[in-house]
Structure 1
Amino acid sequence: MSSQARPVTQPETQEAFKSIPAAFMETVERVANKPAYFVRGETGWDATSWTEYGEQVRTAAKALLALGVNPGDTVCILSYNRPEWTIMDVAAMMIGAVPTGIYWTAAPPEINYILRHSEGRILLAETKAQLQGIGEHADSMHHLRKIIRLDGHVENPDQYTWANFMSLGQDSPGLEVELDRRLNEIEAEDIALQIYTSGTTGQPKAVQISHRAIRAESDALDLVFRATPADRYISYLPMAHIAEQCGTILHACDTGYPVYYAKSVTSLGEHLPEVRPTVTFGVPRIFEKILEKVEKQLDAETGFKGKLIQWSLQISKDWQAQNLNGKSAGLALSIKKKIANYLVLDKIKRKIGLDKMRMFVSGGAPVSMRVLEGFTGLDIVIYEVYGQSENCGGATINVIGATRLGSVGRPMKGISIKIAADGEILCKGDTNFSGYAHDPASTDEIMRDGWLYSGDIGYLDKDGYLFITGRKKEIIITSGGKNISPTGLEHDLTEIPLVEYAVVAGNNQTFLSALLTIDHQMAQRFASENNIKPEDVLQSDQLRSVVQAGINKVNARHSRAERIRKFEILPSGFSIQTGELTPTLKVKRAKVLNNHADALETIYKHDA
């Protein structure tokens, strides 16, 4: 067996099964008076204890019972991150129902599709706007019985305010007995939750995840994070995504660390210095934005202070380069690193709220090497993780003491990874999902002989670190028959100054091209520095010259067939609203190529 075909596996241990809802109740007893979650109020962060949190979840569970929710019924949740989201989620799991998140950014057609497809019985919604269109499709939503609204309004007898809903679970011994019976009867293979994929290639699929799978994922995360009630986690990414559910709900229920609910994604920069989290999940664009802001501030420093800052950044990069590779940094470099931390780096980290961060984890898409190395200059390591909704979001991860920048780490506990002959990454383990709801054909396509066929292309290095190089379905085949994965190229292009997103095209063409978006703030700064009218900067010769110089450098690192011959700067950036970004800010390549077909036609129309 070749080195690429050999499965890389971490040893698996047999443990007695304990569901996450059962572990949640044990955590409530174990850390009773410690804070379970925080909400940002007018003057600060308001805490709720684990005891009160436990009572809230049990009351919500009894309210669901009072509404006739049965094991296996779907409870849909449509809201930005807030305690009620988590309370409803855990309550539903506790009685054997299936919580199903809907992205709070979803448009009415997608909301309606998920409600119908999931056969949602209960809907928790945050705003009236999210209910738009449900009434006119009532005839196709015969499963939907009740709507709980978090905005405090009701419009008919089938709607409840949160307070009225919770009152249904008060003072009922019969419901208490039924709740305990349901909780005790949860079995490992029962479906614990559903995750709807972002629908990058059609309608979203309903990923069904068992209690066995979320238990295995939480156990694996425990070996990585070693989380305790003393940790702090900030919740800001969409809760409908499996990674945020792992951090905000599953692992927190298991280990007892408190969750801080951000007011919004854009409030993260404001919240970080207040919360000073110790473990948190992010996506590449979040890290890019943080680094851009910090670099802008540091680059403005001149004279001795500016030189000291740049010296400190380089010392930290050099020290981390040795440390991450398992080598000794040496006495001289270690002393310099301590000086750099004392004089500069610790102050920077404290100012941006990352001075207590133990595990800053990134997933969903690769982080560029420029950003990874930029953070090591700040004495912060980004630990990349790899996984899908279909295996609970975590299959491999870089960890403290075992990190290789540019890789997505090594297999987590109980996970086996192997590379198929065509380069596809295959995963096996208890975290694998149970199947797609109402779609056995797609389930059979992705699950074969216990292996999850990820659709991703990659390789394992000699030490078992996994590297992702692309997606099978996104392979570009040029008219000359060359197979090219655009992922690496797009990665490299986003490292060009000013470039925010890049999408490479060239299927059935004689050469590759790129559609680029420019970071708005950086473009405005470029316009100011070069005396260009802001409205003219994107098509200015000066900006195109800078971008072309960057593309030339990227091309020099790639083969002739992989070089970008032409590019187009798009007049506006990608967004969730245009459908070009997923709710976790990942580019939908097919959507971008379709939306900007005219730009591509212009690029290729003169090609002989």
Structure 2
Amino acid sequence: MQHSNPIDDHAMAADTLAGITTLPELWHWRVEQSPDKQAYRHFDAGSGRWASFCWREIDLVVGRWRRALAAEGFAQGERVAILMPNGIAHLAIDQAALSLGLVPVPMHAVDNADSIAYILADSGARLLLVDSDTRWDEIAAVGEALPDLRRIVCADRQTTSPTGDPRLIDLEAWLKAAGDATPPGTRIAIAPHDLAAIVYTSGTTGRPKGVMLSHDNIVSNLKAIHQRLAADTDDVFLSFLPLSHTFERTAGYYYPIAIGACVAYARSVKQLSEDLVEVRPTILISVPRIYERIYSVIMHHRAIANPLERVLLDLTIAIGGRRFDAQHGRGTRLSAFDRIAWPLLQRLVAAKLLARFGGRLHVAVSGGAPIAEPVVRLFLALGLEVLQGYGMTETSPVVSVNTPDDNDPRTVGRALPGIEVRIGDNDELMVRGPNVMLGYWHRPEETARTREADGWLHTGDQARIDSGRITITGRIKDILVTSTGEKIAPADLETAILTDPLFEQAIVIGENRPFLTAIVVLNANGWAEQQARLAAHGQRGTEAEAASLLRHIARAVKAYPSYATPKAVHWTLEPWTVQEGLITPTLKNKRPAIERSFAKEIEAIYAKRSSASRPSAIVRS
């Protein structure tokens, strides 16, 4: 993806997309530009093989969906809800809806039924595409009145629904019923400021809000991304982040259309490691958790490796880190030993580790949440360009990103072309540009509080800007204030804790409390090994286990002040899930929900201790 003359490439990219103002225009233009080039790949469970579509073929698929959707007779601007995993069906109904002037409402395929029912009611969706009738039964059981919903299309309808709902129809029957009633080539007038989606925020603290994004919001963001990170038609994306997330919709779905790249749909997150090796993507769009998991695997292997393997890995990371810093004008010049040793270390160590990503990965973009510096530094040292960026649903979503030739992993890069940033009151990052949302669906008062009359958006994130580079320093609402008056950003601590492979998930609490407590989900294998080591040294019982966990936590957060080190811990082996309502579809902690779930355990910890002088814990879950 790196080009010999990035300035010329960026200029050409801007010129190529300059005349496009809506997403349907973008689709039709791409099909005309490269009709026979591979566009999409997906795993066909029936044949057990990967199947592919060129742009001409996928356009015929979209045309079939368009005819079926047009036969429903919905008015322009009405909403179409999509509750499907990433794949051809999700893409087809999204493009069909956009071409008819309808508004997609993407939802996370594994979100809990209560949240889905709320979104359907709040958006006034007229049609729902759902993966199965069983899933629909779960939603119907919530009891939410959905008077606007006229059609429910089930991709996999195994049985007659117990609800006896006449709106239900099998997907294939729905597609066949339309026949050739509406020519797929018929164009509908769509303006740049028309709605292109209502994307519901993750809702970490309450009910999700519907963010209204226009065609201009999204297309302008695509153009700005392409000027900053010009990919090309030979690139391959592996799509696994949910298409209900604006980060994936813009960067992993619409952007590949703009550049004519191929998108392969991963089978599942569980099979991601296999799919990376089989698909061999060149570009990866991901949240930090995926990089953290691979980092944990590497660090675990280091811990059990023989002395020679450990020395080689440490040497690779050290020299690779110096190479990265030297390439970006930071640090000292490389020594003669570094220059001689690197080709061998790259072949023996770095290339083998990066083979986990398929071996062709040029750029890996990390967004959606902060990524710990040790994690990103490891991959940069191995030679993988991990580019941290910043954005939010309300900004379509990308505001800033590092680039391969200008990468400072301590920051989230510089603002994209056409986007203004400044620091407001309380060090809040403010954003203005054509990518800023129209507002919140049916929430004018909240829109007015978030977006000022002159277009400046309140992000809610604290930041600083140095020489154009943006560094996010915390979340205004998430700052914990202990009873001793110390202010702490829990997300930073949680990110640091997760660099230890023993921990799968973590949350830090302590608002109005005398000290911090960590609630963690442990890696089952790692915890079994840890318990065996404790037993070998004659250390048994809850208190010994708690002390051991707190030592791990203290090492992970050693860069923070002593008052920011958790003094108590509660642990479990049961992962927090979206279905339980404990994390968002983008894997962020739902802090109030987790605190409610562990309320008794939290109260027991603080009731047990009047000071933070000794490690504390309660019996693990």
Say if 1:21 and 1:253, in contact at 8 Å, map to a contact too. no
Rate the CA distance shift 1:83–1:486 in 2: closer, same or farther, 3 A.
same
Say if 2:440 and 2:446, in contact at 8 Å, map to a contact too. yes
Say if 1:317 and 1:376, in contact at 8 Å, map to a contact too. yes
Residue in 2 aligned with 1:180?
Answer: 186
Task: Note if 1:418 corresponds to 2:425.
Answer: no
CA positional deviation for 1:487: 2.4
> Aligned match of 2:319 in 308, 315, 330?
315
Identity of aligned residues (%): 28
Say if 1:458 and 1:469, in contact at 8 Å, map to a contact too. yes
Question: CA deviation digits over 1:231-281, x for unaligned, max 9?
Answer: 111111211111111234211222211111111111100100111111121
Runs of 5+ consecutive residues of structure 2 not aligned to the other structure: 1-9, 612-621
Rate the CA distance shift 1:63–1:108 in 2: closer, same or farther, 3 A.
same
Residue in 2 aligned with 1:109?
Answer: 114
> Aligned match of 1:94 in 74, 95, 99?
99
CA positional deviation for 1:317: 2.3
Distance 1:321 1:433 in 2: 37
CA positional deviation for 1:304: 4.5
Say if 1:496 and 1:547, in contact at 8 Å, map to a contact too. no
> Aligned match of 2:41 in 21, 38, 43?
38
CA positional deviation for 1:211: 0.3
Q: For structure 1, which segment, 426-435 or 562-571, has the greater mean C-alpha deviation from structure 2 after superposition?
A: 562-571
CA positional deviation for 1:133: 4.8
Match of 1:441, SS? helix
CA positional deviation for 1:510: 2.9
CA positional deviation for 1:138: 8.2
Task: Note if 1:440 corresponds to 2:449.
Answer: no
Distance 2:144 2:383 in 1: 57
Task: Note if 1:83 corresponds to 2:104.
Answer: no
Residue in 2 aligned with 1:451?
Answer: 456
Say if 2:233 and 2:259, in contact at 8 Å, map to a contact too. yes
Rate the CA distance shift 1:166–1:138 in 2: closer, same or farther, 3 A.
farther
Structure 2 length-normalised TM = 0.88
Rate the CA distance shift 1:484–1:344 in 2: closer, same or farther, 3 A.
closer
> Aligned match of 1:29 in 32, 55, 61?
32
Residue in 2 aligned with 1:3?
Answer: none
CA positional deviation for 1:483: 3.2
Match of 2:149, SS? coil
Residue in 2 aligned with 1:596?
Answer: 598
Task: Note if 1:58 corresponds to 2:60.
Answer: no
Say if 1:33 and 1:50, in contact at 8 Å, map to a contact too. yes
Say if 2:242 and 2:248, in contact at 8 Å, map to a contact too. yes
Q: For structure 1, which segment, 240-249 or 126-135, has the greater mean C-alpha deviation from structure 2 after superposition?
A: 126-135
Say if 1:385 and 1:409, in contact at 8 Å, map to a contact too. yes
The within-5 A match list for 1:145-224 is 145-153=150-158, 155=160, 158-172=167-181, 175-176=182-183, 180-182=186-188, 185-224=189-228
Rate the CA distance shift 1:65–1:328 in 2: closer, same or farther, 3 A.
farther
Say if 1:225 and 1:359, in contact at 8 Å, map to a contact too. no
Distance 1:327 1:84 in 2: 49
Rate the CA distance shift 1:560–1:544 in 2: closer, same or farther, 3 A.
closer
Match of 1:150, SS? strand
Residue in 2 aligned with 1:49?
Answer: 54
Match of 2:183, SS? helix
CA positional deviation for 1:285: 1.5
Q: For structure 1, which segment, 286-295 or 329-338, has the greater mean C-alpha deviation from structure 2 after superposition?
A: 329-338
Rate the CA distance shift 1:549–1:294 in 2: closer, same or farther, 3 A.
closer
CA positional deviation for 1:344: 2.9
The within-5 A match list for 1:314-333 is 314-325=318-329, 329-330=333-334, 332=336, 333=338
Distance 2:499 2:19 in 1: 47
CA positional deviation for 1:532: 7.3
Say if 1:512 and 1:562, in contact at 8 Å, map to a contact too. yes
Match of 2:233, SS? coil
Rate the CA distance shift 1:268–1:220 in 2: closer, same or farther, 3 A.
same
> Aligned match of 2:383 in 379, 383, 388?
379
Distance 2:489 2:64 in 1: 51
The within-5 A match list for 1:168-567 is 168-172=177-181, 175-176=182-183, 180-182=186-188, 185-297=189-301, 299-302=303-306, 304=308, 306-325=310-329, 329-330=333-334, 332=336, 333-350=338-355, 352-448=356-452, 449-460=454-465, 462-496=466-500, 498-531=502-535, 540-553=542-555, 557-559=559-561, 561-567=563-569
CA positional deviation for 1:139: 8.3
Paired AA for residue 380 in structure 2:
T
Say if 1:274 and 1:353, in contact at 8 Å, map to a contact too. no
Distance 1:567 1:135 in 2: 39
Distance 2:555 2:142 in 1: 54
Distance 1:542 1:364 in 2: 36
Distance 1:377 1:120 in 2: 48
Distance 2:296 2:558 in 1: 25
Say if 2:22 and 2:219, in contact at 8 Å, map to a contact too. yes
Q: For structure 1, which segment, 159-168 or 444-453, has the greater mean C-alpha deviation from structure 2 after superposition?
A: 159-168
Say if 2:251 and 2:285, in contact at 8 Å, map to a contact too. yes
Rate the CA distance shift 1:356–1:571 in 2: closer, same or farther, 3 A.
closer
CA positional deviation for 1:431: 0.8
Question: CA deviation digits over 1:538-580, x for unaligned, max 9?
Answer: x655543333334444665434543433333346442223322
Match of 1:228, SS? coil
Rate the CA distance shift 1:276–1:458 in 2: closer, same or farther, 3 A.
same
CA positional deviation for 1:214: 0.6
CA positional deviation for 1:482: 3.7
Q: For structure 1, which segment, 339-348 or 394-403, has the greater mean C-alpha deviation from structure 2 after superposition?
A: 339-348
Rate the CA distance shift 1:33–1:556 in 2: closer, same or farther, 3 A.
closer
Question: CA deviation digits over 1:61-106, x for unaligned, max 9?
Answer: 2221111122101000101111000110011111110011111112
Say if 2:283 and 2:361, in contact at 8 Å, map to a contact too. yes
Runs of 5+ consecutive residues of structure 1 not aligned to the other structure: 1-9
Residue in 2 aligned with 1:20?
Answer: 23
CA positional deviation for 1:476: 1.7
Rate the CA distance shift 1:267–1:459 in 2: closer, same or farther, 3 A.
same
CA positional deviation for 1:309: 3.9
Distance 1:559 1:307 in 2: 31
Distance 2:302 2:131 in 1: 40
Residue in 2 aligned with 1:5?
Answer: none
Question: CA deviation digits over 1:194-247, x for unaligned, max 9?
Answer: 111112121111111000001011112212332222111111121111111123
Rate the CA distance shift 1:298–1:496 in 2: closer, same or farther, 3 A.
closer
Distance 1:131 1:163 in 2: 17
Say if 2:549 and 2:569, in contact at 8 Å, map to a contact too. no
Paired AA for residue 475 in structure 1:
I
CA positional deviation for 1:466: 1.6
Say if 1:475 and 1:483, in contact at 8 Å, map to a contact too. yes
Say if 1:273 and 1:354, in contact at 8 Å, map to a contact too. yes
Question: CA deviation digits over 1:154-190, x for unaligned, max 9?
Answer: 7465333332333345434xx338x6331xx111110
Question: CA deviation digits over 1:359-394, x for unaligned, max 9?
Answer: 211111111122112222322232111111111121
Aligned Cα RMSD in Å?
Answer: 2.8
Paired AA for residue 398 in structure 1:
N
Q: For structure 1, which segment, 474-483 or 30-39, has the greater mean C-alpha deviation from structure 2 after superposition?
A: 474-483
Match of 2:567, SS? strand
Say if 2:363 and 2:384, in contact at 8 Å, map to a contact too. no
Paired AA for residue 163 in structure 1:
E
Match of 1:59, SS? helix
